[in-house]
């Protein structure tokens, strides 16, 4: 049995999580399915928050996405990303232009979040058809400001920022532009959809919520989209989350490009959105804080007081669907760009 994309939790639990080297008591949050980042005690009431993420599903904007996706996961734990390590793997015979594009994007992204690239590795690797960029982001935070994915509590409301599939919309409009144009998607829609790439950072909103003590849990939904992210939060927290399909904001551009390619926006990679479990009595303050940043947000679900852990999706017609713990991303159902789907 082969895999594409993020591996199922049972595979990680049976193979990876059992092989972690020596156990270090300074590690407060280690490898666990759904947790956004590691948390390590640093002394004097502070912790180091660190996370690594690869960009494998995007042809363009790999440097920009790598920095922002890794930084998002650190911010979703309540820490400001400060330092970055970059691993850039290029296809053989790549010229300097591709490396310059990736490095320039990473530089712009790092400056945008106030972080420095402090090291890494770059090489041209055999067997690659396109570049792979891996970023590790690190930051320091007061111990009490950490917001774990596993912190959602019964009675919380689930708040989502921006719209579903921010990153996925930009990737589809960029890497599948030719196919989308052939299927009748207007140029202006494609241009707006590709522009979603500049919305993928959730660092400002995550830090605003954590800094004000308004959240029990936060999560950056990446592969598997909003449904995947909400399921990870539910299972990590050991709670039951009810999500309402008609409350999840989906941008018109996302509906057009996703519909043209036959993919579900709620299961499409969604960096750029933030999921937050907020105590019911603080939800109004949280929405106000996000609005003050110019970030649109909506209450899209709730954490139930009883029931087994999991995610329940209430469809527009009122029917209810049990969402599995692992949600494969829709982007992997498409042929690679250039093989019937690309520009």
Q: 241-272 burial string, b = 16+ CB within 10 Å, else e?
A: bbbbbeebbbbebbebbbebbebbbbbbbbbb
β-partners of residue 122 are 88
Looking at domain 149-333, its CATH class is alpha beta
Phi/psi of residue 121, nearest 5 degrees: -160, 145
| 34 has pLDDT over 90 | no
The pLDDT of residue 253: 98
| Mean pLDDT computed over every residue of the chain | 94
Tokens of 95: 């010229």
**Closest residue by Cα to residue 325 from 229, 212, 192, 194:** 229
- Map residue 87 onto helix, strand or coil: strand
Question: How is the chain split into domains, by residue range?
Answer: 9-145, 149-333
Beta bridge partners of 311: 241, 323
**Per-residue pLDDT tens for 145-175?**
899 899 999 999 999 999 999 999 999 999 9
- State yes or no: pLDDT of 139 exceeds 80: yes
Answer for the pair 147, 264: CB distance below 8 angstroms, yes or no: no
pLDDT in tens, 82-112: 999 999 999 998 889 999 999 999 999 999 9
CB atoms within 10 A of CB 324: 15
Question: What pLDDT sits at residue 231?
Answer: 96
Show the CA angle centred on residue 219, arms to residues 218 and 225, nearest 5°: 145
Q: Domain 9-145 is in which class?
A: alpha beta
Instruction: Give 77's pLDDT tier (boundaries 50, 70, 90).
Output: very high
pLDDT value at 305 more than 90: no
Contacts of 22 (CB under 8 A, 6+ apart): none
What pLDDT shows up at residue 14? 92
CA nearest neighbour of 29 among 21, 20, 38: 38
pLDDT band at 342 (very low <50, low <70, confident <90, very high): low
């Amino acid at each position: 049995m082969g895999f594409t994309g993020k591996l199922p939790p049972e595979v990680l639990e049976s193979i990876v999580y059992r092989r972690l080297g020596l156990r270090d008591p300074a590690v407060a949050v280690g490898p666990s399915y759904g947790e956004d980042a590691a948390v390590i005690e640093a002394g004097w009431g502070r912790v180091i928050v660190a996370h690594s993420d690869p960009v494998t599903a995007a042809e363009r904007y790999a440097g920009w996405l790598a920095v922002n996706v890794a930084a998002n996961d650190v911010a979703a734990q309540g820490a400001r990303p400060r330092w970055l390590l970059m691993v850039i793997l290029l296809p053989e015979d790549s010229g300097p232009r591709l490396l310059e594009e990736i490095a320039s994007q990473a530089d712009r992204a790092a400056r945008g979040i106030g972080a420095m690239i402090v090291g890494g590795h770059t090489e041209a690797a055999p067997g690659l058809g396109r570049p792979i960029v891996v970023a590790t982001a690190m930051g320091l935070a007061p111990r009490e400001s950490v917001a774990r994915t596993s912190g959602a509590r019964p009675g919380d409301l689930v708040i989502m920022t921006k719209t579903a599939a921010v990153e996925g919309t930009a990737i589809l409009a960029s890497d599948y532009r030719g196919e989308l144009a052939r299927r009748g998607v207007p140029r202006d829609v494609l241009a707006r959809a590709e522009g979603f790439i500049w919305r993928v950072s959730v660092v400002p909103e995550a830090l605003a919520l954590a800094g004000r003590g308004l959240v029990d849990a936060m999560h950056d939904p990446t592969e598997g989209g909003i449904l995947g992210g909400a399921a990870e939060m539910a299972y990590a927290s050991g709670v039951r989350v009810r999500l309402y399909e008609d409350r999840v904001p989906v941008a018109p551009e996302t509906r057009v490009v996703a519909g043209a390619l036959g993919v579900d926006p709620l299961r499409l990679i969604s960096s750029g959105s933030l999921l937050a479990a907020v105590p019911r009595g603080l939800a109004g303050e949280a929405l106000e804080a996000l609005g003050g940043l110019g970030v649109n947000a909506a209450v899209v679900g709730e954490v139930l007081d009883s029931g087994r852990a999991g995610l329940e999706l209430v469809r527009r017609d009122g029917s209810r669907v049990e969402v599995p713990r692992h949600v494969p991303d829709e982007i992997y159902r498409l042929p690679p760009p250039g093989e019937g789907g690309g520009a």
